Structure 1
Amino acid sequence: MTDNTETAGRWAEVLGPRYAAATLILCLGVALLAFNAFVTSTAMPTAVQELGGVALISWALTLFLVFAIMGGAGAALAKQVLGARVALLVSAAIFLAGSLIVGTAASMEIVLVGRALQGLGEGLVAAICFALIPEMFPARLVPKVFGMQAMVWAVAAFGGPVVAGVLTESVSWRAAFLVSVPMALIFAGMVLVVVPNSTLIKQDHADFPGVRLLLVGSGIMAVALASLATPLTAALLLAGAALLLLGAVMLDKRSRTRLMPIDAFWHGSVVGSGLWVILLTPVAGATSAVYLVLLLQQMWGYGPTLAGAVAAVLALAWSGAAIAVAHVQHEATRMRLITLGPGLLALGLTGVLTGLLSGQIAVVLLAQIAIGASYGLSNSSLYVTLMGSADPGERDRVAALVPTTQSAGNAIGAALAGVAANLTGYASASTSAAFAQSIIAVFMLGASVAIIGLLAAVRMTQLMAMNGPLVTLGMEERHP
């Protein structure tokens, strides 16, 4: 492979007449998940004030994430059994029903039902869209499409709360959720036109993965509960979650109808090591994502808008870095980028802590740029390498597991950060000095997890070097 523009493809081609519809539908599918993951923090407090049920507010996000992860875990099987087009239409219908339920809910209990359906539908949509990338684009454009996916997440991290805030203040909190309805309808219409009706894989003696999905959902639910519990209870919940998730992986390996690749999370394979990188980096990054905006207000007296702007620097850096490396084709360059990501993340998290403790906003901003760049520089290469390293029969499972694992990493990271903060007295802190003292362990935990992710990335690249060139990833060119 070479790095010349012709071989690598051009951005104009990804967005041009031939592939524009496919690009839009895949990005829209991911955008629905990303936007709804971020809209809750802005619109839900107003909903709670109107409907009551303050004690249930955290469950609006928790149930969304739990069911999104469960949906993503079953996405590969849904695509194989139903075909990509039907699976996407069913998933979009589930999400649409959830959005309508939330937007018209008369109580918080009904809101939670809608949020669960939204999560289930969107988990399926995002994972199937991920799996469709190499089926709908030639190999030379696949890295750019993966880069587009990364940019969608970054834009949603910035734009989701902004759009939700404007709609909540100018119209209603219901509008912030109902805005997803036309997006889902447009998505479903484009699926009918663009997505091929893929050949179904015959499933002889197929097992419904109910037990495995229940283990996954229960594990993530235990993680979410850990962030709200006392330290001892949280430790027990996290240990229980680890056992449940490990049980799901082990049970899946012995199943005739697997949800995951056979080497999922096995350190002796490229795919297994790569999935650890995908899990650990959002676990580490959740430290800053959960606490930075709040700390800027508590320690430095920043208003919500200014604190949010500092956080948004990460999204801008993420997008810029993803664009900058989307042309990369050389495997050696990809290997360097894969290891650069978690290393830069560890440096960025340490930098945020240093800036907060020293009172230097410039250091915090540079660290935010480093964190955003860590994702933007490495994600596309990581995705392409994982998909190219997978056996053809496992590729759908690998693709579906990528966004699912990222969502699980965000949930686990938020819980671990919460446990660390509770242990160090963050909740009872009332002065800048007390806040500073209490968050040292939180950010050091994040940096430590990032370093473990770096070790997994190094292991992954070592296995890549041993295994030889990747399989070319993407559909063959078809000329009329």
Structure 2
Amino acid sequence: MGLRSERGPILLSLMLATALVALDSTVIATAIPTITKELGGFSQFPWLLSVYLLAQAATTPLYGKVADVVGRKPVILLGVAVFLAGSILCGFAWSMPALIAFRAVQGLGAGAILPMSTTIVGDIYTLAERAKVQGYVASVWGISAVVGPLIGGAFSEWVSWRWIFWVNIPFCLVAGGILLRNFREKVERTKHRVDYLGAVLVTAATTLLMLGLLEGGEGWPWTSLTSALVIGGGLVLAVAFVLVERRAAEPVLPLWVFGRRMLLTTSVVSLGVGAVMIGFTSYIPTFTQVTLGTGALVAGFSVATMTVGWPVAAAQSGRLYLRYRFRVTALLGSLLAIVGVVLVLLFLGTGSTPWEVGAFCLVVGAGLGLAAPTTVIAAQHTVGWSERGVVTSANMFSRSIGSALGVAVYGAVVNASLGRTAAHPAPGPLADAVHEVFLGVLVAGVVMLVAVLFMPRGGEGRQFPTDDGGAVAEKAAEQTVGGAA
């Protein structure tokens, strides 16, 4: 049976694995009161969220490089296995420090699953199909933003918080089993020089920088010695990493990824996408509940309209970029996302309705649905099989950095705004704070737009094939590390 007939089950397994990673980013939020009541350590609970993101982001570049050497299948299966192990251990955690450590194990698995899912889609689907399929995979995140807290609350209240982790077990087994049986790739085994030093440096640098961005202003003041040491140490290690990679025979994150115009601009777009998404998913539900007085379910569905706009727009983006090229499609998406943010700035207030909030989120989701998959596919299209993993991982890495920057900046904005309100009380304090947050989101949208404007007009690298057909998908099974996609 050829690869074309096996793509459906493969896509299902990729979406399932992605859903698990996305759910575990949000499912724990509503379970925290129950967890801390049993395990204690309430002051440490923010680490349950931060350590997961840290481990995930820090290992993404490494997995991308390894996948270009040994193939995608062993890397994503490793990711699923590590995530499964972390989930089991989290369910058996006996203390808050143990749970935090096991959440880090989950993050290590997630760091492989996300970039490999996107890379495999790029391998087995044709250029015309990829946008729609990437939209399906990406929409999993929005659905998880709504479903995750509901699942966490339900298990905590009616069963046990431990089942929010144990429920992952059958789904991990199903996803891994489908991939093991259906996903086939032919990889030429050759001797490689492993860049161990580069791997250690990029992981350590990313960990420190992400830690500084996520915990600055929360775990410690921005102006503290701790903040200076963490962020300064991350920057020093990043410089050392660049110096090492310039001389490495097979660098773990080749510097050419950020030296090619198409790859650099699409990475910056991804950074902006991460910042825009985290702004909406973090602050729209809170605003809807606190300021508009809705329940958690209504608040979740308000922001979930992004997940409607995203896949619908992504499904159409393939037609657009095949006709008008990547740059024009991404430009349209960036402008649409900016329009959605401007609508929020102009009309979101204490008198808004959840329907209005949902409409604004729908517009933003449609914009991101055009811009995000298009730029990822544009980056993948400029390289061959042996470079696609590292290119995709670099793009995902940029999105993680964008989200971390967004968390840091938006959190500082909210704290500053609420601090001024405490000194000079005014009606609708949270509404004012959220308004200032979305000024920052607008800046992120403008960053996306500017990066798109600098994308090559005609597309870099290989030209669009005149008959992309099913040949690309069939050939994906025969790719070798030294071959071209």
Structure 1 and Structure 2 fold alike (TM over 0.5): yes
2:143·2:304 contact (CA, 8 Å) conserved in 1?
no
1:30·1:149 contact (CA, 8 Å) conserved in 2?
yes
Matched, 1:424 2:412: no
1:142·1:384 contact (CA, 8 Å) conserved in 2?
yes
Matched, 1:469 2:463: yes
Of 129, 145, 167, the match for 1:157: 145
Deviation string for 1:168-194 (max 9, x for gaps)? 332221111111111111122122212
2:83·2:108 contact (CA, 8 Å) conserved in 1?
yes
5 Å-filtered alignment, 1:123-142, equals 123-142=111-130
The answer to which of 45-54 and 360-369 deviates more is 360-369
Shift of 1:52: 1.0
Matched, 1:179 2:167: yes
SS at match of 2:190: coil
5 Å-filtered alignment, 1:66-465, equals 66-200=54-188, 202-208=190-196, 209-228=199-218, 229-233=220-224, 245=238, 248=241, 251-266=244-259, 269-328=261-320, 330-357=322-349, 359-361=351-353, 363-425=356-418, 429=422, 432-462=427-457, 464=458
CA distance in 1, matches of 2:367, 2:227: 30
Judged with a 3 Å threshold, the aligned counterparts in structure 2 of structure 1 residues 189 and 382 are, in CA distance, closer, same or farther, namely: same
Letter in 1 for 2:437: V
Judged with a 3 Å threshold, the aligned counterparts in structure 2 of structure 1 residues 256 and 419 are, in CA distance, closer, same or farther, namely: farther
Letter in 2 for 1:196: R
Shift of 1:371: 1.4
Shift of 1:376: 1.5
Shift of 1:59: 0.5
CA distance in 2, matches of 1:298, 1:238: 34
Judged with a 3 Å threshold, the aligned counterparts in structure 2 of structure 1 residues 303 and 263 are, in CA distance, closer, same or farther, namely: same
Letter in 2 for 1:425: L
1:261·1:394 contact (CA, 8 Å) conserved in 2?
no
Aligned to 1:9: none
Judged with a 3 Å threshold, the aligned counterparts in structure 2 of structure 1 residues 282 and 466 are, in CA distance, closer, same or farther, namely: closer
Letter in 1 for 2:279: T
SS at match of 2:393: helix
Q: Percent identity?
A: 24
CA distance in 1, matches of 2:357, 2:227: 31
CA distance in 2, matches of 1:195, 1:284: 34
Judged with a 3 Å threshold, the aligned counterparts in structure 2 of structure 1 residues 358 and 140 are, in CA distance, closer, same or farther, namely: same
Judged with a 3 Å threshold, the aligned counterparts in structure 2 of structure 1 residues 320 and 432 are, in CA distance, closer, same or farther, namely: farther
2:55·2:104 contact (CA, 8 Å) conserved in 1?
yes
Matched, 1:40 2:28: yes
Letter in 2 for 1:451: V
CA distance in 1, matches of 2:277, 2:240: 26
Name stretches of at least 5 consecutive residues in structure 1 with no aligned partner. Answer: 1-13
CA distance in 2, matches of 1:137, 1:180: 28
Shift of 1:122: 1.3
Structure 2 length-normalised TM: 0.86
Judged with a 3 Å threshold, the aligned counterparts in structure 2 of structure 1 residues 369 and 31 are, in CA distance, closer, same or farther, namely: same
Q: Please, what is the CA RMSD of the aligned residues?
A: 3.0
Shift of 1:250: 5.8
Aligned to 2:480: none
CA distance in 2, matches of 1:32, 1:307: 22
Judged with a 3 Å threshold, the aligned counterparts in structure 2 of structure 1 residues 163 and 270 are, in CA distance, closer, same or farther, namely: same
1:231·1:423 contact (CA, 8 Å) conserved in 2?
no
SS at match of 1:424: helix
Deviation string for 1:3-52 (max 9, x for gaps)? xxxxxxxxxxx9x9542112112222322221211212223332122211
CA distance in 2, matches of 1:427, 1:26: 46
SS at match of 1:301: coil
2:69·2:386 contact (CA, 8 Å) conserved in 1?
no
CA distance in 2, matches of 1:394, 1:460: 20
Judged with a 3 Å threshold, the aligned counterparts in structure 2 of structure 1 residues 95 and 273 are, in CA distance, closer, same or farther, namely: same
Judged with a 3 Å threshold, the aligned counterparts in structure 2 of structure 1 residues 424 and 173 are, in CA distance, closer, same or farther, namely: same
2:135·2:310 contact (CA, 8 Å) conserved in 1?
no
The answer to which of 17-26 and 112-121 deviates more is 17-26
1:280·1:449 contact (CA, 8 Å) conserved in 2?
yes
CA distance in 1, matches of 2:472, 2:60: 23
CA distance in 1, matches of 2:296, 2:23: 20
CA distance in 1, matches of 2:449, 2:11: 31
Letter in 1 for 2:165: F
Judged with a 3 Å threshold, the aligned counterparts in structure 2 of structure 1 residues 43 and 250 are, in CA distance, closer, same or farther, namely: farther
2:201·2:237 contact (CA, 8 Å) conserved in 1?
no
1:339·1:457 contact (CA, 8 Å) conserved in 2?
yes
CA distance in 2, matches of 1:292, 1:255: 45
Deviation string for 1:202-255 (max 9, x for gaps)? 344322111221111111111111241435349856677566556645643443
1:351·1:364 contact (CA, 8 Å) conserved in 2?
no
1:385·1:470 contact (CA, 8 Å) conserved in 2?
no
Name stretches of at least 5 consecutive residues in structure 2 with no aligned partner. Answer: 478-485
Letter in 2 for 1:405: S
Aligned to 2:41: 53
Aligned residue pair count: 464
Aligned to 2:482: none
Judged with a 3 Å threshold, the aligned counterparts in structure 2 of structure 1 residues 232 and 147 are, in CA distance, closer, same or farther, namely: same
